[in-house]
Structure 1
Amino acid sequence: MTDDYISAKQAAAFDDFTINEIGVPSAVLMERAALAVYQRLLAGRVFDLKKVLVVAGSGNNGGDGIAVARMLFLRGLDVTIWLLGKRQNTSPENKRQLDIAKKIWCQNPFAS
């Protein structure tokens, strides 16, 4: 693991370049980010995954978290999502992830 980090501004610039200049859809970037986190969670022994709470904001990073929650749920884990903010203010990618999560969960995954 590296100790090198990028700023939020740099990450946004990388995303913008990848989406607008290279042509990779933002949904693909979101899935890839979520998959990397999911794999890291499963590979590490740091977290107890018996019961998982994902706290997600209304922006695209929140959408990444919702996608991770979906992947963990599909693995059979007990997952709950807390969405911060108003659903009507979610970014389009976040809304897409919320819609997917709603369709996959047999019960409501969102804590009241």
Structure 2
Amino acid sequence: MQTPQALHDDPGLGPGLRLAQNAPPQGTPATPEERAQEFKPVQGGSDTASAGSLLVAAYIVMWAILMGFLVLSWRRGQRLATRIGDLEKSLDRAEKAEAGDD
């Protein structure tokens, strides 16, 4: 009879893989100081953008999208109004032609 531990061992895993299952992931800090999640400033950070300029850029983009949407909606409305007008004229002509045939 097999021991309980032998029943739980996966026969497909080699000894290296069994050890890797129990090992901590690489790059994991070992000491509490290394795991600390406090802010530590980085020296020499030169890539900066002011929040004000980013806010202005975001507003410009949003207003441009809104204006584009309004212009496209207005153009579609104009095309729809033109098409409805053409259909009404066609219906009037068809009604007059039908009334004239009687």
The answer to whether the superposition gives a TM-score over 0.5 is: no
TM range (shorter): under 0.3
Higher Cα radius of gyration: 2
Q: Which has the higher contact order (CA 8 A, sep 6+)?
A: 1
Q: Under a length normalisation based on structure 1, what TM-score does the superposition of the two structures give?
A: 0.20
Q: Where is the strand percentage greater, Structure 1 or Structure 2? A: 1
